[in-house]
Amino acid sequence: MNDWLKPLQDGLIEGRVLTKNADLYSYSFDASFGEYLPEAVVQVKNKQEVVHVIRLANQYKVPVYPRGAGTCLSGGPLPVHGGIVLDLSKLPAKIDVSPGDLTVTVSPSVRTQDINIEAEKRGLMYAPDPSSAHVATIGGNLAENSGGPRGLKYGVTKDHVLGLEIVTPEGELIRTGGQTIKNVTGYDLTKLIVGSEGTLAVIVEATLKLMPKPPAVKTMMVSFHKVRTAGEAISRTLTSGVLPSKMEFMDQACVRAVEQFQPIGLPVDAAAIILIELDGPEEALRIEQEKVEAIMEEMGAKEVIIPESDEEAAKLWHARKQVSPAIAKIKPTKVSEDATVPRSKIPDFMDRLQTIKEKYDLEVVAFGHAGDGNLHPNILCDQRDPEEMKRAEKAVEEMFEAAIELGGTLSGEHGIGTMKAPFMEMELGDAGVDMMRRIKRAWDPHNILNPGKIFAEKGQKLVLRNE
Ligand SMILES: Cc1cc2nc3c(=O)[nH]c(=O)nc-3n(C[C@H](O)[C@H](O)[C@H](O)COP(=O)(O)OP(=O)(O)OC[C@H]3O[C@@H](n4cnc5c(N)ncnc54)[C@H](O)[C@@H]3O)c2cc1C
């Protein structure tokens, strides 16, 4: 038995620490690749229990892997070095809306969608809307700096965080930021922690910004004969003076997969479609809609469809949410990437994806938040076929190279985790990565929080094959 297990159990109510194999297996994966068994799982129920676990882990130098709902697409919560999985999803759900301040204070275990449901009861909105909002926790969103379709107009999670309560790797409970809209006291630790992927602190509470819910929204679906034209139409719209709240792209393979999965009458013969949402006052939307329609016509769009009711519009957005589960049916393995490019480079990135797809003879489909340059190329393959997986590994590397050559980044929202760690130097250079490593060492001298993430370990390469 590990020397740390007894003191860990002694400081917690009985039943909080799981060590049976069946329990450990259910914490050994996320929504990405790889399976790693932890040595123990702790289901914490309050902040003091988090402090106890972290202090003990720091004392015994045991790795701790924070975990929300486990929907991460980059390997973030995987216990790659064993140790303890810290399950934060069982913390009591707290959603405390302060309508006068336009803020909400939440515990990390709440589902992002539930924050919005509470905000909407007061005519307010929490803007970040990842497609996984109905299952993922806000703790995971904060750690990954998640985004969603509305990121185009309203930004990502970090743009909506005022303050955090965190447990440091040495077991101190501290606050960063606060409740105010403006706060320039000292270094901005809030921004440092948001997006740190559970490597610098455990988030145990957060105060988030809310905003007035836009009075009206308008949905449009535009289909295209050519993928490149869809990319050009996105760029043209974004430089026209109209800023849609959402601009989502689906290529033909995605449209067809959704129609097979849950048919709603999407145009399966189009090369690509864009789903657009405009939000704001009704009168402004009429003018903006006409402007976008004119742009689409000028660009030679195949068809512009304006849903006649809210229900019809909701169906289209539901179809967009079905892309991930629908394409997962095409082949057994889905390698999901989220390289992001400057918006003007979207058509070029689409061309590069086509070249990569042909070069490696792989099934590559693309969808995503194209309005902010964040496409999700997905390679559909079969992990039991090592030769195909080898081609997939090369294709992923070339996708990253393409994004970076076009002035983009490895990840727009899914994080680095284990999957993209080997490519960090490609984007940031040795000195850039070294500066980040130094921050990690200063915060976490014993490297107990989520080790094996963001920073590649010696000789680490992207491996998608079963080994
Ligand atoms: C179908 C599907 C659709 C998705 N769509 C989107 C999308 O539109 N946009 C997007 O950005 N992502 C998306 N994702 C990815 C994923 O849902 C997000 O990254 C989400 O934020 C993860 O939340 P989680 O609760 O599942 O966290 P987990 O997967 O459990 O953990 C994610 C990371 O956060 C850390 N962590 C979790 N809680 C805490 C905490 N309290 N303190 C410190 N660290 C913590 C973990 O260590 C890990 O590194 C999608 C995933 C799926 C499967």
pLDDT profile of the chain (467 residues), mean per 10: 92 93 96 93 97 98 98 96 98 98 98 98 97 96 97 97 98 97 96 98 98 97 95 93 96 96 95 97 97 96 96 95 93 92 90 96 93 92 94 96 97 95 97 98 98 94 76
Q: What are phi and psi of 178, to 5 degrees?
A: -175, -140
> d(Cα 168, Cα 27) in Å, to the nearest integer?
23
- Protein residue with least CA distance to atom 45, ligand 1: 198
Strand ranges of the sheet holding 333-336, from the earlier edge strand across to the other edge = 303-305, 216-224, 272-280, 246-251, 363-369, 374-381, 333-336
Q: Which residues contact 451 (CB under 8 A, 6 or more apart)?
A: 63, 80, 81, 199
Tell how far CA 146 is from the center of its chain. Answer: 4
CA of residue 139 to ligand 1 center, whole Å: 8
Residue 407 is given by DSSP the state T
Question: Buried b / exposed e across 221-256, counting CB within 10 Å, b at 16+?
Answer: bbbbeebbbbbbbbbebbeeebebbbbbbbbbbbbb
Question: Which mutation among 78, 87, 144, 254 tests ligand 1's pocket best, with the greatest number of atoms within 8 A of CB?
Answer: 144
Residue nearest to atom 9 of ligand 1 (CA): 130
Query: Atom 14 of ligand 1 has which residue's CA nearest to it?
Result: 132
Residues with C-beta less than 6 Å from any ligand 1 atom:
30-31, 65-73, 76-77, 88, 108, 130-132, 136-137, 139-141, 143-144, 146-148, 197-198, 202-203, 324, 413-414, 450
Token pair listed for 420? 């993209």
What separation in Å is there between the alpha carbon of 134 and the centre of ligand 1? 12
Look up the CATH number of domain 95-212: 3.30.465.10
pLDDT, residue 463, reads 83
Return the best residue to mutate from 28, 146, 200, 334 for the ligand 1 pocket (most ligand atoms within 8 A of CB).
146
Q: What is the CATH architecture assignment of 216-319? A: 2-Layer Sandwich (3.30)
Interval between CA 268 and ligand 1 midpoint (Å):
31
- What is the reported pLDDT for 17? 97
How many A from CA of 108 to the centre of ligand 1? 11
Pairing of strands 363-369, 246-251: antiparallel
Q: Which ligand 1 atom minimizes the distance to the CA of 31? A: 53
The span from the CA of 38 to the CA of 19, in Å, is 9
Cβ-based burial of 6 (10 A; exposed 0-12, middle 13-18, buried ≥19): exposed
Q: How far is the CA of 81 from the centre of ligand 1 (A)?
A: 20
Burial of 20 (0-12, 13-18, 19+ CB in 10 A): exposed
Residue owning the nearest CA to atom 32 of ligand 1: 140
CATH entry 3.90.226.10 includes domain 331-405: no
What's the confidence (pLDDT) of residue 467? 57
Output the pLDDT for position 464.
85
Closest by alpha carbon to 365, among 208, 262, 258?
258
Between the CA of 72 and the centroid of ligand 1 the distance, in Å, is 4
- Which residue's alpha carbon is at the smallest distance from atom 37 of ligand 1? 140
3-state SS, residue 162: strand
Distance (angstroms) between ligand 1 centre and the Cα of 32 equals: 11
User: Domain limits of the chain?
Assistant: 95-212, 216-319, 331-405
The pLDDT, as a whole number, for residue 466 is 62
Ligand 1 atom closest to the CA of 138, numbered from 1: 25
Alpha carbons 201 and 143: distance in angstroms, whole number: 9
Atom of ligand 1 nearest to the CA of 76: 49
Span from the CA of 147 to the centroid of ligand 1 (angstroms) = 10
Ligand 1: centre distance to CA 70 (Å) = 7
Domains 95-212 and 331-405 share a fold: no
* Residue 148 CA to ligand 1 centre (angstroms): 12
